[in-house]
Amino acid sequence: MTLLGPHEPPAVEVVRADAASPFFLTCDHASNRVPEALGDLGVPATERERHIAWDIGALAVARGLSAALDATLVASGYSRLVIDLNRPLHRPDLCPLQSEHTAVPGNADLAEAAKVQRHAALYAPYHAAIEQLLDARAARGQGTLLVAIHSFTPVYAGVARPWEIALLSNRDRRVAECLIHALQREHVLNVGDNIPYRLTDDGDYGVPVHGERRALPHVLIELRQDTVASAAGQRTWVERLAPLLREAWDCVARERQSADG
């Protein structure tokens, strides 16, 4: 039995699959949709509109950057409450029992067969799409800068988060540092560096697997949700980030040329 009905949206959306630019965007938490077969997972609709179910504003910014940069975009079709596409498979919060203070009853006592079904229907197709597109780019010698688009809450556990944007990286900090320096030229911005989250092998999947293992320049961008909740805010970030990402690619390309002699 398949998880998704034939009338339901696909697990993954690909925009500009054959885009010519070096920019390759992912949006792991683009949707708060739950497959009909799972009902509402026991989570009220008002809760599923919150950050616990998706990254508010992230998909709109990713779409805008895809258009501005002629970039390929791969976006998820279903909520991270069903299965989190940016978690390694061994993580206990892959299908979370609780998100922040909200219980997810539909994930309680989840049978292994149900986890396998969610993986096959949602997780595997999303990451397979990314892998196939990156393989195709490599085969045709197309340079790639992997950019993962996320968003975070302005307040967590009663503590305010002052950063409008955060750049996350791990072993390869080239792109993150270039963007941090460029964004800090705009003195009105509070820019986070691996805060409020850190990018790790244990906590993340997308960048470690699709970026680091392939030795692709990469960055994970976190935008504070109150700055991207409106269409105006989304446009502001697209207009701000598009030229800075071009600048970051030029920086990486220059470094590569210098290394090649």
Task: Say yes or no to pLDDT of 119 above 70.
Answer: yes
Q: What is the pLDDT of residues 212-223, one digit of tens each?
A: 999 999 999 999
Cα separation values, 154 from 151, 157, 159, 227, Å:
10, 10, 9, 9
Task: Say yes or no to pLDDT of 256 above 90.
Answer: no
Quick check: is 77 in a domain? yes
Task: Say yes or no to pLDDT of 131 above 80.
Answer: yes
d(CA 229, CA 207): 25
- Whether the bond between 196 and the residue before it is cis, its omega within 30 degrees of 0, is yes
Is residue 79 a contact partner of residue 35, using CB atoms and an 8 Å limit? Answer: no
Q: What is the pLDDT of residues 8-24, one digit of tens each?
A: 999 999 999 999 999 99
Quick check: is 240 in a domain? yes
For position 247, what pLDDT does the model report?
95
Instruction: Give me the CATH number covering residue 159.
Output: 3.40.630.40
* pLDDT confidence bin for 205, thresholds 50/70/90: very high
**The two structure tokens encoding residue 58:** 């992230």
Quick check: is 3 in a domain? no
Task: Say yes or no to pLDDT of 166 above 90.
Answer: yes
Quick check: is 5 in a domain? no
Quick check: is 64 in a domain? yes
Q: Which domain holds residue 84?
A: 12-259
Other residues' Cβ atoms within 10 Å of the Cβ of residue 17: 12
Q: What is the pLDDT of residues 145-156, one digit of tens each?
A: 999 999 999 998
- Percentage with pLDDT > 70 across the chain: 98
Quick check: is 2 in a domain? no
Across residues 224-241, what is the average pLDDT?
98
Quick check: is 237 in a domain? yes
* pLDDT confidence bin for 189, thresholds 50/70/90: very high
Domain count along the chain: 1
Q: Interior CA angle at 206 toward 55 and 7, to 5°?
A: 60
Across residues 240-260, what is the average pLDDT?
87
d(CA 169, CA 90): 21
Across residues 179-190, what is the average pLDDT?
90
Quick check: is 161 in a domain? yes
d(CA 225, CA 257): 37
